[in-house]
Amino acid sequence: MISPFWKSCYDNVCSTLKEFREVSGVVSVFNSNIDAIVKVDAQHFASWCNQMNCSPEPHFVNPLTINSESDFLEGFLHCFSKGIAQELLISHESLFLNIHKVVGYDHLQMGGQGGIIGNVMSVSGVQNVMVHAASLSKEQAQLFLPNENLVSSLPDGTMAQASKIHRSEDLPLIHWILEFNKGDKITINDVEYCCPKSNRFIATWDPQNFKLAIDQSFIKMVEKQKPKIDYVLLAGYQMLTEPLADGGSALERIHESKQIVDQWRESNKDMIVHFEFASTQDRGVRKMLFAEMSPWADSMGLNEQELIDILEVIGEEATAKRCEKFLDPSDLTEALILLFNRSELPRIQLHFYGMYITIRKRNQNISVESVQNGMALAATVAASKAKTGAINTEDSLLSAAGCEISGVSLDVLNNIGNYISTTYGESNFNSTGIYRCDEFELICMPTILIDNPVTLVGMGDTISSISLVSAK
Ligand code: GLC
């Protein structure tokens, strides 16, 4: 039975969405790419093994990079058998071309946190959304929604509607999104792997975003326009390696990007900088990102896998292992509190199956109700995306409005509630989703869940950006 309180949070989604019209400017940088989506089942996998003439070893380990066809197959099977998401980088172009011949795609859609968030912010009604793309080929530009409020730059730094820019010399940057469904089975070497949770494996060949390429004409455009910027939504660092493939330094790329954002901040003192952490394979870069972003950004968004990944590189391996083993909501909550205490960030938002948790410093301007309303809107939009595969119009954003909070999500809430009452002695948590102490405020929202989602990719980006920008 869903309590009236939780139901009421979801009753406000329509008016919360209208708040977006009050937001003057959002800058969404740096990674936009083309996602080539494939729904993969056992037949596909068998046919890949056949055509690639190899198959995963009986006791394969998850590869860190895709250096061969078998790394590709093993990386996929690792995600499939555990029901987890991960992105691996393809190490060289000839391998990319070989895989390309075999894998193909079902359809293309906007990819990259920058591109996905740009589209979502534009359709939600933000007045001016500036989106960065290292490549603006015709194929890429066509994936930006054809909205006047979604702009990017021409080579000379002039502003133009993003969907109308076609830079013929730019290379399309394609990532494979290999999605799989809960309950599907793949048998290899007489071992049956049954997928416990719908998710995806991403295989990426993207020489521009591998080095966080920043288009100088975009920087010129922002300098010239001097727009009012309320939020900078920052992502695309997860493809960096140290050193970069061309010998350059990831740390220098991170510093350059921070300097650019600092310049924007000079004329927009109240601007909020949100960093979206993503599946970052290079452990050195992962550690560097946490060290660089934690004392500098105002907010960070991540999922449970990314939380575990960070803990692994900041000396909290035991907590990381425990979280990884059981994916227990209480463990994840404890881990989030630990991460918050280890960071200097005023706000972190974690999202995982059935639950969003915002942890923030006390005495913020934005009310707790507003934060919960923002998360309820994010959950509704995410469910609409899962249900229909597309959230390209204002109406479609709320197509899942009215769906009930899932029973699984309420179980997760109870689980976290037990942890909060045993650890902190707070017994009201299950009815409010809120726990406060001197150091932090924890604000939760159980979510709607959609069975057999049409798509999952880009969900985290949608959740993080909507929750943040809609909370006023
Ligand atoms: C990563 C992938 C990109 C995908 C995005 C979704 O950035 O590289 O292909 O669209 O994640 O969040």
Q: Is the CB of 179 under 6 A from ligand 1?
A: no
Q: Is the CB of 109 under 6 A from ligand 1?
A: no
Q: Is the CB of 32 under 6 A from ligand 1?
A: no
CA 170 to ligand 1 centroid distance, Å = 19
Give the pair of three-digit tokens for residue 444.
């939760």
For 226-235, the pLDDT digits (tens) are 999 999 999 9
CA 414 to ligand 1 centroid distance, Å = 32
Q: What DSSP state is assigned to residue 438?
A: S
Query: What's the predicted TM-score (pTM) here?
Result: 0.94
Would residue 432 be called left, alpha or beta, if left means φ above 0 and alpha means ψ between -120 and 50 degrees?
alpha
For 285-301, the pLDDT digits (tens) are 999 999 999 999 999 99
Query: In angstroms, rounded to a whole number, what is the distance separating the alpha carbons of residues 354 and 214?
Result: 36
Write the CB contacts of 470 (distance below 8 Å, at least 6 apart in sequence): 16, 17, 19, 20, 124, 373, 374, 377, 378
Mapping DSSP to helix (H, G, I), strand (E, B) and coil, where does residue 249 land?
Answer: coil
CA dist 5 to 114, 372, 432, Å?
34, 11, 8
Mean pLDDT of 238-264: 96
Instruction: Say if residue 342's pLDDT is above 90.
Output: yes
Q: Is the CB of 33 under 6 A from ligand 1?
A: yes
Instruction: Say if residue 36's pLDDT is above 80.
Output: yes
Which residue is closest in CA terms to ligand 1's atom 1? Answer: 112
Give the closest residue to 268 by CA, choosing from 230, 224, 222, 219.
230
What pLDDT shows up at residue 101? 92
Instruction: Say if residue 102's pLDDT is above 90.
Output: yes
Query: In angstroms, rounded to a whole number, what is the distance separating the alpha carbons of residues 146 and 37?
Result: 21
CA angle 65, 71, 73 (to 5 degrees): 130
